[in-house]
Structure 1
Amino acid sequence: MADHSDHGEVTYTIADGNDYPAHEQTYEGFIRMVKIGTSAVAFVLIMMAIFLT
């Protein structure tokens, strides 16, 4: 069986090479695209409601 003699100690580490500003920029871009996509779908639905009824 595995030796678990140190399982009373919990350590948290941050991986080397994390680029937090790039992460924030990617997230902001994702949120921006979600907003644009939602607006585009709403626009299409409104146009369908106006012209297809």
Structure 2
Amino acid sequence: MADKKHGEMDITDQKKTFDGFVNWTKWAVIVIIAVLVFMALVNS
């Protein structure tokens, strides 16, 4: 079995993917809230 040391793996791609996912999710939630507010204002 190979000698493995904690923290030596290059995880830059995983960090970029996670940051992109978080950013996309943030903007999706903002758009959904904006649409719901717009719908509430139009239907009143």
Give yes or no for TM over 0.5: yes
TM tier, shorter chain? Answer: 0.7 to 0.9
Indicate the residue corresponding to 1:35 in structure 2: 26
How high is the TM-score relative to the length of structure 1? Answer: 0.64
Indicate the residue corresponding to 1:21 in structure 2: 12
Cα distance in 2 for residues equivalent to 1:44 and 1:38: 10
How high is the TM-score relative to the length of structure 2? Answer: 0.75
Greater helix share, structure number:
2
Root-mean-square deviation (Å):
1.5
The Cα of 1:19 is off from its aligned counterpart by: 4.4
Identity %, equivalent residues: 24
Cα distance in 2 for residues equivalent to 1:51 and 1:30: 31
Choose 1 or 2 for highest CA Rg.
1
